[in-house]
Copies of this chain bind each other. A is one copy, B any other.
Amino acid sequence: MADGGEGGVTLEQVAREAGVSPSTVSRILNGTANVRDAKVRAVQAAIAKLRFMPNAAARALAGGRSMSIGVVIQAIDSPFYGEALAAIEKALLRAGYSVLFVSGRWREDDERRGIDHLVSRRVDGIILVTSCLPDAELQRLSRALPVVLTGRALPGERLHCLDTDAVPGARLATEHLIAQGHSRIAFISGPVDHPDARQRLEGYRAALRAHRIPRVPQLVVEGDYSDACGTALTPEFLKSLSSTAVCPPATGPVKRARARSTEGTRGFADG
């Protein structure tokens, strides 16, 4: 398979070429033991000459670790999750791990199937960037292998969570606009059945309430996270703002905030 011949160079061939035993080559490859310098050099030369690349499947089978991590993303065609995947991939590859990617598409079944696939692949751990599955199922999964979960906080020995404070986050964002003197503040929410989206809306409302600003139903529209500008900013909505100034999507601090913890929460205000 590899560049050399047809089915891939094996560790044994390297050993023969270098005049040592397979175990010695393995030791050098893994730094498992000290090997005489001359042999190290001989082996390295053989590896280079034969263009040897260790067979990951064999390693996984013999060693018990696959050196691969499963990453579940709901919708990869979204810059938000794309950024996450890119960062994960970068860190993992640098650490020598492979990234097995599966997409959940916000559907329980798809996600479940994907996870089963990963488990069968014997990944050493799973990263769930937002999950649709019920708490209990995730906790059960984490008993089988280490799990990293974002967007939810759950107890569990090998269940590591990474969550954001959605309510306070949205409230902070809203209060930022209020502090600037705005009082007609619009809110593009995520899908109403999305827990995060709901919490953010709650934060927005809390801010208004705290500052005794009346709610205007028309100022709250439902987006879908995928392209807030295109989906939610219908001509009707824009007209309903009856404003002279609208923050352009790609500038100012609000945009940055979106990329962090208040995704989907954006404020528009009349001058």
- How many angstroms between the C-alpha atoms of A68 and B2 in the bound complex? 16
Question: A145 in the interface, Cβ–Cβ < 8 Å?
Answer: yes
Nearest CB of B to A96, in Å: 9
Q: Which parts of A77-93 form the interface with B (CB within 8 Å)?
A: 77-79, 81-83, 85-86, 89-90, 93
- How many angstroms between the C-alpha atoms of A145 and B6 in the bound complex? 10
- A58 in complex: contacting residue of B8, B56, B61, CB < 8 Å: B61
Nearest CB of B to A14, in Å: 14
Binary contact readout A113-146 vs B (1 if CB under 8 angstroms, 0 otherwise): 1101101111000000000000000001001110
For A57, the chain B residues whose CB sits under 8 A away are 56-58, 60-61, 66, 121-122
Nearest CB of B to A268, in Å: 16
- How many angstroms between the C-alpha atoms of A122 and B55 in the bound complex? 7
For A82, the chain B residues whose CB sits under 8 A away are 76-79, 81-82
Name, among A53, A57, A116, A233, the residue most crowded by chain B CB atoms within 10 Å (CB to CB): A57
Q: Given A57-B60, A100-B99, A230-B251, A77 and B77 touching (CB < 8 A)?
A: no
Question: A253 in the interface, Cβ–Cβ < 8 Å?
Answer: no
- How many angstroms between the C-alpha atoms of A85 and B103 in the bound complex? 10
- A76 in complex: contacting residue of B86, B140, B144, B227, CB < 8 Å: B86
- How many angstroms between the C-alpha atoms of A118 and B64 in the bound complex? 20
Question: A217 in the interface, Cβ–Cβ < 8 Å?
Answer: no
Q: Would you mind naming 20 contact pairs between A and B with Cβ atoms under 8 Å apart?
A: A8-B122, A55-B61, A55-B120, A56-B120, A56-B121, A57-B66, A58-B61, A68-B100, A68-B121, A77-B82, A77-B86, A79-B82, A86-B103, A89-B103, A93-B113, A99-B101, A100-B101, A101-B101, A231-B250, A233-B250
- How many angstroms between the C-alpha atoms of A3 and B115 in the bound complex? 12
Nearest CB of B to A223, in Å: 12
* Residue in B closest to A229 when the chains form the complex, CB atoms: B250
Question: A181 in the interface, Cβ–Cβ < 8 Å?
Answer: no
Binary contact readout A97-110 vs B (1 if CB under 8 angstroms, 0 otherwise): 01111110000000
Q: Do B120 and A54 touch (CB < 8 A)?
A: yes
- How many angstroms between the C-alpha atoms of A91 and B1 in the bound complex? 24
Nearest CB of B to A271, in Å: 17
Other CB < 8 Å A-B pairs besides A8-B122, A100-B101, 14 of them?
A1-B122, A2-B119, A57-B57, A57-B121, A58-B61, A77-B83, A85-B101, A86-B103, A89-B102, A98-B121, A99-B101, A99-B102, A229-B249, A231-B250
Question: A75 in the interface, Cβ–Cβ < 8 Å?
Answer: yes
For A116, the chain B residues whose CB sits under 8 A away are 53
